[in-house]
Structure formats: C-alpha cells, structure tokens
Amino acid sequence: MILYGLLTSPIVLGAKQDLCATCNVAGPHLIVRRVRWVEIFFIPVLPIWISHRLVCTNCSAETKLGFGARLRAGPPGHELGQAAVAAPGEVR
C-alpha cells in the first residue's frame, strides 16, 4: 500500500509597504510563496505548482504576483526596506 497526497506550504519571503486595492490602506504587505507538493508517505517529493502573492496585513486580501512583479517586489529571503547585512569580512 502506498500513501500519497498533496501538500501546500506557504513561505513568507518578505514584507513591503504598499497600497491595498481592497481596503485602500497604505501599510505592510507580505510577499508569500505557495508551493504545492506531491508527497509519498508524508514526504514532499515533487513540486508541481508555485504561486507568489502579495497579502495585505490589514484585510488579508491577496493579489497574485507574476514573475516580473515578484522580481520587482524584492529579493527573496530579505526584509524589504531594511539595509542588507554584510557577511563577515565583506565590505559594503
């Protein structure tokens, strides 16, 4: 018997200040990546779907981000609006 299924895992990539199209409040928005995985025996094996969304922290409205909009939103894994931290021994 093989156990299989689908798993969707959200990952917060960063945050940015933006104007929400739903509630018209300028405030922080989260950049969220959702990945749907095929899993076998509860182990994620193969990503089959990736989506990026901008989520308003005020009203929880979601706006789909295309690939180009995702790149313009900011680098993955960094809090937007803050200075990048230099690695040890690196001069910025």
Whether 42 is covered by a domain: the verdict is: yes
Whether 52 is covered by a domain: the verdict is: yes
Q: What is the pLDDT of residue 7?
A: 81
Q: What is the pLDDT of residue 56?
A: 93
Whether 17 is covered by a domain: the verdict is: yes
Q: What is the pLDDT of residue 74?
A: 60
Whether 67 is covered by a domain: the verdict is: yes
Q: What is the pLDDT of residue 84?
A: 42
Q: What is the pLDDT of residues 19-78, one digit of tens each?
A: 888 999 899 999 999 989 888 888 888 889 888 999 999 998 988 887 666 666 665 544
The tally of domains found in the chain comes to 1
Whether 51 is covered by a domain: the verdict is: yes
Q: Print the domain residue range for 43.
A: 4-73
Whether 81 is covered by a domain: the verdict is: no
Q: What is the pLDDT of residue 67?
A: 67
Least confidently predicted of 4-13, 43-52, 65-74, 79-88? 79-88
74-83 long-range contacts, Cβ below 8 Å, gap at least 24?
A: 74/13, 74/14, 74/16, 74/31, 75/14, 76/13, 76/14, 76/33, 77/13, 77/14, 78/14, 79/14, 79/15, 80/14, 80/15, 80/16, 80/31, 81/15, 81/16, 81/17
